[in-house]
Amino acid sequence: MKKILLICLSTILIGQEKYPVDWETVAKIREEGFQRSEIANTLSYMTDVLGARLTNSEDMRQAQDWAISEMKRIGLKNTQIEPFMDYGYSWDNEYFSLHMIEPDYQTLVGYPIAHTPGINGRQKLTVVRTQIKTKADLEKYKGKLRGKAVLATLPPVIDQERYRKGTPRYTNEQLKEISKKPFPKPPRGPRSPVNPDLVSSEERNTFFKDEGVSVILESRSGWIAAVRGFARPGAKKDKWDRKGTLEHLPIVAVTPEHYNRMVRISDRDIPIKIEVEIKTKIGKQRRQARNVLGEIPGTDLKHEVVMLGAHFDTWHASPNASDNTSGVSVMLEAMRILKAVNIQPRRTIRIALWSGEEQGLHGSREYVNKHFGNPNDSDVGKKVGYDTFSAYFNQDYGPGQYRGIYLQDNEHVRKAFTSWMSPFKDLGMTTIGSQSVGSTDHIPFDRAGLPAFQFLQDRVGGTGGHTNLDFYDTIPIEDIKKNAVIVASFVYHTAMLDERLPRKIVK
Ligand SMILES: [Zn+2]
């Protein structure tokens, strides 16, 4: 019995020795982060004053200049805006208005899809409903759409249940499940054959263009009052090209209730007229998309680096307070806290505010390729920074508070993370998820074999991201305050270790 107890104790002690908690610094971080938090002010500036930040837009350029000045104000060093790829032409929406004027007046809620053109002046247009799935369906509309606005998508079904219930916080039982069970891998069934008769959105829009349609109306959101819409089909393929944008038809995404109202009126064979005006600004030359970086330089191990970050780019219809302005505000606040408590980290701590995440993790991927490389990818190879990189911490799962952290299948960091979570048990930070999670900027690091992590977050606040409704008011400020404190502490402890954070063994 005694022997077992001794073994247990010594195991715990070894764990603590290797990954100790610096309680004094944690106390300072908590004090600064909770009693003198600036996160609400930072989030408000970004969402209220800067607004949406579509990758490579004028809006984004202005916001990046602000980020540099904010980093300097905090006291960060080596601040820079780093171009990462020839991205394409900038696109900004300058003005938009949409109204139904017949058979009844109503302001319609919507917005133009990114990288589509504006229209000449204010236009009154007749609306025609189309139902196009296959090539044969196209025939029905030949010669009938000139000068019209078309309802192009099928009427969306609104998820009333989700709207009523919202998303609750994780219960202790759910967290327990996450801690012990790997996420099941979805079974890979045989791929169903592609029906060659189906029409893609790109083909459908080309048909509309050839038929002389004036404006395409669509609705793809199943959430009440929320409009979801991204970039025109084909924009990624032609690299957000100016000519491609100007030659495309204008597309407007409309809220599901308004769209469905027009569908139902149309099905009664009652004519619908809308009035629409769209002004957009398209850049005159191709430009590089850029990331923003800043540092707290290290001391005896300053050539080694610990990173934290979040994507700064958003979709264009709202400031996207949850996706991912909240993540950016957390990372900036974490850096502010670390400077305010005057830590002297051994390793350099670097913040990255990525761009091009929404279009496919471009900013983080290009950054990893350039600075660290990827030994598993012969086209990229291993770069100088690969061996001196320690770890990257990212936030991009909404504005909910951290309840734990995912190991990203790296069992070697379990002990460190368990130890560093312990000062934050009272905040609900208790769970190690051994799973790998995806869909955001830690992935390019992880693919290169570098330790990179996402926190396990309550999925509360915001409007699910990518909508016209994602503003400051939807953000649980107390949640992101906690996140800034926790990530500041994790980054600090990573920067102070004798060794870099262990990497998983990739076979
Ligand atoms: Zn995001």
Confidence check: pLDDT of 307 > 80: yes
The Cα–Cα gap between 361 and 236 comes to: 13
Rounded distance from Cα 61 to ligand 1 centre (Å): 19
> Lowest-confidence range among 202-216, 223-237, 245-259?
223-237
**pLDDT score recorded for residue 6:** 46
| Tens digit of each residue's pLDDT (9 = 90 or more) over 459-482 | 988 776 789 999 999 999 999 999
Rounded distance from Cα 388 to ligand 1 centre (Å): 28
Band of residue 195 on the pLDDT scale cut at 50, 70, 90: confident
Say which residue the tokens 């004053």 belong to.
49
Token readout for 237 is 């393929």
| Tens digit of each residue's pLDDT (9 = 90 or more) over 421-440 | 999 999 999 999 988 999 99
What mean pLDDT comes out for the span 220-240? 92
Rounded distance from Cα 198 to ligand 1 centre (Å): 31
* Closest C-alpha to 339, from 38, 18, 15: 38
Rounded distance from Cα 23 to ligand 1 centre (Å): 32
Note the residue count of the chain: 507
Rounded distance from Cα 453 to ligand 1 centre (Å): 15
**pLDDT score recorded for residue 434:** 87
* Closest C-alpha to 325, from 60, 46, 73: 46
- List, in order, residues 6 or more apart from 194 with CB less than 8 Å away: none
Rounded distance from Cα 105 to ligand 1 centre (Å): 37
Q: Which residues pair with 290 in a beta bridge?
A: 83
Confidence check: pLDDT of 181 > 90: no
The Cα–Cα gap between 235 and 152 comes to: 18
**pLDDT score recorded for residue 14:** 46
Cα-Cα end-to-end distance for the chain: 40
Rounded distance from Cα 326 to ligand 1 centre (Å): 10
The Cα–Cα gap between 416 and 490 comes to: 9
Rounded distance from Cα 396 to ligand 1 centre (Å): 5
CB half-sphere exposure, 90, CA atoms < 13 A? 20
Token readout for 481 is 């305050």
Number of C-beta neighbours around residue 261 at 10 A: 18
- Identify the three-state secondary structure at position 239: coil
Rounded distance from Cα 54 to ligand 1 centre (Å): 12
Q: Which residues pair with 218 in a beta bridge?
A: 253
For residues 333 and 408, the answer to whether their CB atoms sit within 8 Å is: no
Torsion on CA atoms 467, 468, 471, 473, rounded to nearest 10:
-100
Rounded distance from Cα 272 to ligand 1 centre (Å): 37
- Identify the three-state secondary structure at position 40: helix
For residues 279 and 117, the answer to whether their CB atoms sit within 8 Å is: no
| Tens digit of each residue's pLDDT (9 = 90 or more) over 58-77 | 999 999 999 999 999 999 99
Average pLDDT of the chain to the nearest whole number: 93
Confidence check: pLDDT of 8 > 70: no
Helices (H), 433-501: 443-447, 477-496
Pairing mode, strands 91-102 and 106-107: antiparallel
State the greatest distance between any 2 C-alpha atoms of the chain, in Å, as a whole number.
90
Rounded distance from Cα 52 to ligand 1 centre (Å): 13
The Cα–Cα gap between 74 and 181 comes to: 41
- Identify the three-state secondary structure at position 431: strand
The DSSP result for 211-232, as a single string, is TT--EEEE----STT--B--B-
Burial, 473: exposed, middle or buried (Cβ in 10 Å; 0-12, 13-18, 19+)?
A: exposed
The Cα–Cα gap between 69 and 77 comes to: 11
Number of C-beta neighbours around residue 426 at 10 A: 9
pTM above 0.85, yes or no: yes
Band of residue 196 on the pLDDT scale cut at 50, 70, 90: confident
Band of residue 16 on the pLDDT scale cut at 50, 70, 90: low
* Amino acid of residue 104: D
Rounded distance from Cα 314 to ligand 1 centre (Å): 8
Rounded distance from Cα 46 to ligand 1 centre (Å): 15
What mean pLDDT comes out for the span 366-386? 96
- The 8 Å CB, 24+ separation contacts for 338-344 are 338/29, 338/296, 338/488, 338/491, 338/492, 339/74, 339/75, 339/76, 339/296, 340/32, 340/36, 341/25, 341/28, 341/29, 341/32, 343/25, 343/296, 343/492, 344/299
Band of residue 259 on the pLDDT scale cut at 50, 70, 90: very high
Pairing mode, strands 452-457 and 287-296: unpaired
